[in-house]
């Protein structure tokens, strides 16, 4: 019976949604870029030009962040990526309001400015975390530990930075800049080092097992190999070598006086 080559409806729907999201992001950026170029070439100077150019930067910057988050599409951290794209979109709206709003009380502008800074911090951190999570399926222990440590440091740094934006008591604390700087350096270190290690220390190629192989034994071998950071072939190699050696010794013992294997003749 011939197998159908058409994709599964669920997979096709996901691909269509991703295509639509990426198209919206790209079109928005193209329109904003076109408006910025038009203002620079033929548009009026002054406040309007500044606002259009800032709008172009906002749309472009948050588009990059949203696309970074959508890189997790159809991966285990799919929901995290979609949420990150939403956060980038919401932050872009806040930034656009801050650029184009004309009126508002002092309280309105104070809250809006805090929302703007918080959105910038969270969106950038979310995009970085999404890119880091592309390595979540790597099995090398050093990469998994480094990834977890980096994500924790990045999360704490983001939370501390946002807290300093909203609460002056935290921002004015003497230890605050030292703690924020230390955590920021650790986050940056992980963001750089972990991907480099992932490039240098690639996982061993996965091997398949026969369908009639006991599932519990196969799972045990895979888990043990991943825990030790080796392939299944490397894990069982010592046992295979001993078996082959024993088999060879047994074969030599069965050989005849002239080095040939005895045979039965009719």
DSSP 181-223: HHHHHHHHHHHHHHHHHHHHSPPPPP----TTS-HHHHHHHHH
Domain extents in the chain: 21-137
pLDDT, residue 109, reads 87
Q: Residue 2: exposed, middle, or buried by beta-carbon count in 10 A (0-12, 13-18, 19+)?
A: exposed
pLDDT, residue 194, reads 93
pLDDT, residue 6, reads 52
Residue ranges in the chain modelled with pLDDT below 70: 1-12, 14, 43-44, 203-213, 226-232, 240-266
Q: What's the predicted TM-score (pTM) here?
A: 0.69
pLDDT, residue 196, reads 92
Q: Residue 96: which of 48, 33, 54 has the closest Cα?
A: 54
Query: Residue 187 in contact with residue 157, Cβ under 8 Å?
Result: yes
What percent of the chain has a predicted confidence (pLDDT) above 70? Answer: 77
pLDDT, residue 125, reads 95
Spatial separation of the C-alpha atoms in residues 30 and 12, rounded to whole Å: 26
pLDDT, residue 203, reads 66
pLDDT, residue 10, reads 58
pLDDT, residue 258, reads 52
């Amino acid at each position: 019976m011939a197998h159908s080559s058409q994709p599964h409806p669920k997979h096709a729907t996901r691909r269509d949604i991703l295509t639509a999201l990426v198209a919206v992001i790209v079109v928005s950026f193209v329109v904003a870029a076109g408006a910025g170029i038009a203002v620079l070439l033929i548009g009026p100077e002054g406040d309007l030009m500044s606002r259009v150019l800032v709008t172009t930067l906002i749309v472009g910057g948050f588009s990059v962040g949203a696309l970074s988050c959508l890189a997790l599409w159809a991966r285990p951290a799919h929901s995290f990526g979609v949420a990150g794209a939403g956060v980038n979109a919401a932050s872009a709206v806040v930034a656009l309001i801050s650029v184009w709003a004309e009126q508002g009380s002092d309280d309105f502008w104070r809250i809006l400015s805090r929302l703007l800074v918080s959105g910038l911090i969270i969106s950038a951190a979310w995009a970085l975390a999404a890119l880091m999570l592309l390595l979540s399926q790597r099995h090398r222990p050093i990469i998994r530990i480094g990834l977890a440590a980096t994500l924790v440091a990045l999360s704490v740094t983001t939370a501390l930075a946002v807290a300093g934006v909203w609460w002056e008591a935290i921002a004015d604390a003497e230890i605050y800049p030292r703690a924020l700087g230390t955590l920021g350096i650790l986050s940056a270190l992980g963001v750089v080092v972990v991907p480099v290690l992932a490039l240098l220390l690639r996982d061993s190629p996965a091997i398949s097992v026969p369908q009639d192989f006991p599932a519990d034994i196969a799972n045990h071998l895979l888990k043990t190999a991943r825990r030790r950071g080796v392939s299944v072939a490397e894990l069982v190699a010592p046992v295979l070598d001993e078996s082959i050696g024993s088999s060879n010794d047994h074969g030599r013992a069965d050989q005849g006086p002239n080095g040939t294997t005895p045979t039965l003749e009719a």
